[in-house]
Chains A and B, each alone.
Chain A
Amino acid sequence: MSPAITPAMIGQVIISGILAGSLYAMVALGLSLIFGVMRVINIAHGPMLMLGAYTTYFLYAGFGLNPYLSLPISMAVLFVLGAVLQRALVFRVVDAPELSSLLLTFGISIALVNVAQLAFTSDLRSVEYLTGSWVAGPFAFSKPRVVACLIASAITAGAFLFLQKTRLGKAIRATSQSREVAMVCGINVQRIHLLSFGMAAALAAAGGTLISMMIAIQPEMGQIWTFKSFLVIVLGGAGNYPGALLGGLLLGLIEQLASLFLTTQLSEAVAYVLLVVVLLVRPTGLLGGRQT
């Protein structure tokens, strides 16, 4: 328990919460996209984020590439990997019972984590690029987190514009509303699935690149992100894309508040209790979503 909580501390917590929440929102949008379009919860979403972080690390350590410039590369690499996984494995279980898709993506997740263990070892690695904070009055703004928040917001906004305005984005939304009707309208649903899976992997990779400058990189860093991303889409409402935004910010704020009033150790438990309570009280999410 903290002895005294000042208004400045609350302000700091809100700042940190929004900074973290923007990343949650971007990564969760990817999981939400796959769930919306294919009705598949991709357990391997977090490990994809881990691979994005490693891509950035190796480009930085090997070629001295600025980690922010590696962002498009890590997104492109994971886009391809996501598309390949969808084409090779996941498409076979899109119409199968949920058990199959959950277990399949769980298997993929274990395989990715252990390939990373074998290839990169479990040594902790870090990208020390932008460190320190900007200080404004009583508040500190961690540099990598502020930049990450800006980039994540830009990418998320770009993804929304893409979904809202372009023909392809409209095709994705149509497929997630009803696959059959989308097919009747001449949309190539197989291609939409491929594209959404690739986009989702790229969003996870962007998250990986951005957090590679904040925390240690290791093969098991990703799994917790699958859970957190899911928590975000439950908060916002499953299959409700704007809901992911609200859910992300809420999760960031709640975690930071919990670490202020309780301890950091318990903040993860608080996120979990939140999930259980939301499922109990408002299972369709705060903004409401489609029941599955």
Chain B
Amino acid sequence: MSGRGRMFVAGLAVLVLVLAVYPSFGSGYGVRSMLQLFMWMALAGSWNLISGLTGYVSFGHVAFFGAGSYTAAILITKAGWPWLAASLAGGLGACVLALLIGYPCLRLKGPYFAIAMLGLNEVLRALVSYFEGLTGGGLGLSLPTLQATVPVYYVMGLTAIGVTALTYVIITSRFGLRLMTIREDEVAAEAMGIDTFRHKLYAFLLSAVGPGIVGGLAARDQGYIEPISVFPLAMTITMIVMVLFGGKGTVWGPVLGAATLFIFQELVWAQFIYLHQLLFGAIIIGVVLLMPRGVLGLLQMKYRLPRTI
């Protein structure tokens, strides 16, 4: 490892350590903000796993967040599960949903997957409203009160680290190389003997786990969920913008994008909701046309950093 690489790892270790002891001295608002930042890192990193690596755009990743929220909330309220186990089950629930959608849609090349994901969100919202007995319908579900912000903070942080570490492992593995081959040229990937359908499906399943767990944790943290609040289209848009802005198909791009945009969002844009969304639209257009490798791509060019990490 080069000197610069060692410095980076050391800096990272210090950062993680500071974040680990942060709840003991940070303000309630600070802890809550960091918790949200971890959530966005996990969400952006998960979107990157399918869309950044394979090039199959998921326009409805928030569906997995919502599925995780409802799985966890139902297990907590109806079956009395502890929140940690329920959140992990939320990840599993999201994974099952991904299998149901991915199996028919990822067998095909082309835009089918993207559009199927575009509609998924509305459908889940309708289903959740319809099955009132289980989900509380439009009234939503109230979880038993529990002061768990600090434990949720740690689990959320671990999930963010877990997603980022998973991305690193995948990108530096043969599996990741195959996914990127699919992105660059799927026909060539097939000709080289890669089972493209299975690889795409595995990447998709992995990309659903993070949002599912995070959805469960968010449900526990908010204490109340209802169809509109857990399936917002704006959340998918934010994930996509974060990854594109940071640099898609890389390990640190989603982390960088999530951190930068989250801070801006908290400080500036929260007051101007439509302008903020308009700006997100403009960022997507600008990044696609002008800097497809995102901010990280610019940094890599300037400081000669490794291209994919």
B-binding segment of A10-18, A166-174, A266-274: A266-274
Query: Chain A interface secondary structure, helix, strand, loop or mixed?
Result: helix
A41, A117, A265: the one within 8 Å of B130 (CB): A265
Give the distance to chain B from A77, nearest Cβ to Cβ, in Å: 20
The answer to whether A268 and B116 touch (CB under 8 A), given A104-B288, A111-B281, is no
Contact A41 B114 (CB under 8 A): yes
Given contacts A92-B289, A110-B237, A99 and B115 within 8 Å (CB-CB): no
Query: Contact: B119 with A111, CB < 8 Å?
Result: no
Q: Quick check: is B12 within 8 A (CB to CB) of the other chain?
A: no
List residues of chain A with CB within 8 A of the CB of B282: 107, 111
| Nearest CB in chain B to that of A35: its residue | B111
Q: Is the CB of B57 within 8 A of A102?
A: yes
Chain A residues positioned under 8 Å from B237 (CB to CB): 110
What are some 10 contacts across the A-B interface (CB < 8 A)? Answer: A98-B55, A107-B282, A111-B285, A227-B119, A265-B130, A266-B127, A268-B122, A271-B119, A279-B108, A292-B109
**A130 in the interface, Cβ–Cβ < 8 Å?**
no
Any A CB within 8 A of the CB of B204: no
Closest to B51 in A: A99
Find out whether the CB atom of B114 lies under 8 angstroms from the CB atom of A102. yes
With A102-B111, A110-B237 known to touch, is A279 a contact of B289 (CB < 8 Å)? no
- Contacts A230-B115, A272-B120; A110 near B278 (Cβ below 8 A): yes
Mask of A81-125 contacts with B, CB within 8 angstroms, 1/0: 000000001001100011110111011111111110110000000
* Chain A contact residues, CB within 8 Å of chain B: 35, 41, 43, 89, 92-93, 97-100, 102-104, 106-115, 117-118, 223-224, 226-227, 230-231, 234, 238, 263, 265-266, 268-269, 271-272, 275-277, 279-280, 283, 291-292
Residue of B127, B284, B289 near A110 (CB, 8 A) is B284
Query: Once the chains bind, are B115 and A41 in contact (CB under 8 Å)?
Result: yes
User: B130 contacts A263, CB within 8 Å?
Assistant: yes
Neighbouring B residues of A266 by C-beta, 8 Å:
126-127, 130
> Which residue of chain A lies nearest to B100 when distances are taken between CB atoms in the complex?
A276
Q: How far is the CA of A269 from the CA of B130 in the complex (A)?
A: 10
Q: Which residues of B contact A223 (CB under 8 A)?
A: 118, 233
Report yes or no: B55 in contact with A97, Cβ–Cβ below 8 A. Answer: yes
Task: Answer yes or no: B162 CB below 8 A from chain A CBs.
Answer: no
Known A104-B288, A108-B285: A279·B112 in contact at CB below 8 Å: yes
Chain A residues with CB under 8 A of B240? 103, 106
> Count of B residues near A, CB < 8 Å?
46
Does B59 touch A at the CB level, under 8 Å? yes
User: Which residues of B approach A to under 8 Å, CB–CB?
Assistant: 51, 55-57, 59, 100-101, 103-105, 107-112, 114-116, 118-120, 122-123, 126-127, 129-130, 183, 233, 237, 240, 244, 274-275, 277-278, 280-285, 288-289, 292
Cβ–Cβ contact A117 & B274, under 8 A: yes
Contact A109 B281 (CB under 8 A): yes
Asked if residues A272 and B280 are in contact (CB atoms below 8 Å), the reply is no
B89 to chain A, nearest CB (A): 24
| Complex interface: chain A residues within 8 A of B107 (CB) | 279, 283
| Nearest-Cβ distance from residue B200 to partner chain A, whole angstroms | 13
Establish whether residues B123 and A272, one from each chain, have CB atoms under 8 Å apart when the complex forms.
yes
Cα distance, A203 to B55, chains bound together (Å): 30
Contact A276–B101 (Cβ < 8 Å) = yes
The distance from the CB of B49 to the nearest CB of chain A, in whole angstroms, is 14
Which of B104, B112, B118, B285 has a CB less than 8 Å from the CB of A89? B285
Contact A118 B281 (CB under 8 A): no
Given contacts A41-B114, A93-B288, 14 further A-B contacts (CB under 8 A): A89-B289, A93-B289, A97-B55, A98-B111, A99-B51, A100-B292, A107-B283, A110-B278, A112-B281, A115-B278, A118-B278, A223-B233, A226-B118, A265-B130
- Within 8 Å CB of B274, what residues of A? 114, 117-118
Chain A minimum-CB-distance residue to B277: A114
